[in-house]
């Protein structure tokens, strides 16, 4: 029997939360470091710190 919990798990480099293997990551799982696009985009720059577009 297969268990859902048998899926690989990694820890997100941004939020530090564990995330589970997803089918869309099947080919790039070794490269996946973030739980979502949001965390991947937030790397190094928390929030919108764009000085060029200051209002
Ligand atoms: Zn994350």
Q: Look at residue 49 and tell me if it is in a domain.
A: no
Note the pLDDT of residue 45: 57
Flag residues of the chain having pLDDT under 50: 53-55
Decide: 4 and 31 in contact? Cβ < 8 Å.
no
What is the pTM assigned to this prediction? Answer: 0.64
- Tell me how far the alpha carbon of residue 1 lies from the centroid of ligand 1, in angstroms: 30
- Tell me how far the alpha carbon of residue 14 lies from the centroid of ligand 1, in angstroms: 5
Q: Look at residue 20 and tell me if it is in a domain.
A: yes
CA distance 37 to 24: 13
Q: How many domains does the chain have?
A: 1
Q: Look at residue 35 and tell me if it is in a domain.
A: yes
Look up the domain containing 22 and give its range: 4-43
- Tell me how far the alpha carbon of residue 6 lies from the centroid of ligand 1, in angstroms: 21
Query: What tokens were used for 40?
Result: 């991947």
- Tell me how far the alpha carbon of residue 31 lies from the centroid of ligand 1, in angstroms: 14
- Tell me how far the alpha carbon of residue 49 lies from the centroid of ligand 1, in angstroms: 19
Alpha carbon of residue 7 to chain centroid: 16
Note the pLDDT of residue 42: 85
Q: Look at residue 18 and tell me if it is in a domain.
A: yes
Note the pLDDT of residue 54: 39
Q: Look at residue 30 and tell me if it is in a domain.
A: yes
Count the neighbouring beta carbons within 10 Å of the beta carbon of residue 16.
Answer: 9
């Amino acid at each position: 029997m297969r268990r859902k919990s048998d899926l690989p798990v990694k820890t997100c480099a941004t939020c530090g939360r564990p995330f589970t293997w997803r089918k869309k990551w099947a080919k790039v799982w070794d490269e996946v470091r973030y739980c979502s696009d949001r965390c991947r985009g937030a790397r190094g720059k928390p929030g919108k710190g764009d000085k060029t577009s200051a209002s």
